[in-house]
Each structure stands twice: as C-alpha cells, then as structure tokens.
Amino acid sequence: MKELLLKYKSVLRFVGLFIGTYLLLGFLYSVYLNLSKNGPFFPDYITHLVAKQSNAVLNTFGYAAFLNPAQTVEGMLLTIDGRYTVNIVEGCNSVSVIILFVAFIIAFAEKFKKTILYIFAGAVLIYVINIIRIAILTVALYKFPEYENVLHAVVFPVIIYAFVFMLWMIWVRMLKVNPETNLVK
C-alpha cells in the first residue's frame, strides 16, 4: 500500500488539492450568496456588477440597452431597444468558473508569488471575457432570438470554458517538470 501511495503521490496530491480547494471556495461562495440575500444589491453584488458592466459595454457600442431588476426570476433583465433579451442571474457572474480555475491552479501550485499572480491575472481575464461574452450573447439573442437554445446552452458556454482550458494549458506549460519522472515538481 505504501508503494502505491508513493508511486501515485503527485496524482493524489493533485486530486486532494483540487477537491479541497474547490470545496472550500464553493463553501465560501455559498456563504457569500446566503449573506447577500438581504443585501442592498440584487440578486447579489457580483451578479449586479456583471449586469451593470455588460449593460455599459452594450451602451458603449451604440445599443440602447437598459437594465432592470426582476424579483420573480432573481436576476437582472437586460433589454435592447425595450425588448427583453437576457436575464443575468447568479450563474452568469463567472464566479463558479473562477473557482474551478483557481482549484486547478492551486492543485498544480508552484512558487507562492507566481501562483498568486497567475490566479489573479486569470480571474480578472475570465471576469472580463465573461462580461464581453454576455454583451455578445445579448446582441446575438436580440438579432437571432430563434437560436436562443444553441447560443445560450452551447456556443457561449464553450467560449468561457475554452478560455479557462487555455489558461490551464498555459499554466501547465509554465511549470517545471522533474526530468527523472516527467512529472510536475
């Protein structure tokens, strides 16, 4: 048994760090969401901010976008030219994706400073890409509402997850590999 543990030490370390980090950050995020229920921002501060920033991007590019809180669907309704287009809910704010990203990076952590800087840069990039993604999705749904299912359920999730995967691959390529085992140190 000890041989197996030693043989798969790096795999077990990765799995333990990944699952542990993911569960811890997920728990902290759920606490944040519970504390946000009666807060001044609807539905929560981060989702509210993402909705406002997506709205600002659309207005910057000349669309007559307007944002309105919707208590019944617990989100922010984003309209173009007065026509309902998207409902930005908690799941649209990219926090869950950032948690997944951070868990992977920590599971492959190297030097503290390098890891923290990459986590910060990656989280900011994911957040920005998400706002741009929401703005583009809003325009796409405004112009092509008949493709809502494919745009919302397939095309736009692929954008954010492909971006996160690319960031993971960049991180793995930046790591130092032990020449004896061909494993990350």
Structure tokens at 45: 């501060």
pLDDT, average across residues 69-83: 87
Helices (H), the chain: 2-7, 9-36, 45-60, 95-107, 112-143, 148-150, 156-174
pLDDT, averaged across the chain: 91
pLDDT surpasses 70 at 58 = yes
**Contact in structure between 84 and 137 (CB atoms under 8 Å):** no
pLDDT surpasses 60 at 93 = yes
Tell me the three state secondary structure of residue 108. coil
Check residue 7 and give its pLDDT: 83
pLDDT, average across residues 97-105: 98
**Does pTM top 0.85 for this prediction?**
yes
Q: What percent of the chain has pLDDT over 90?
A: 74
Check residue 4 and give its pLDDT: 79
Buried-state track 34-45, b at ≥16 Cβ within 10 A, e below 16: eebeeeeebbbe
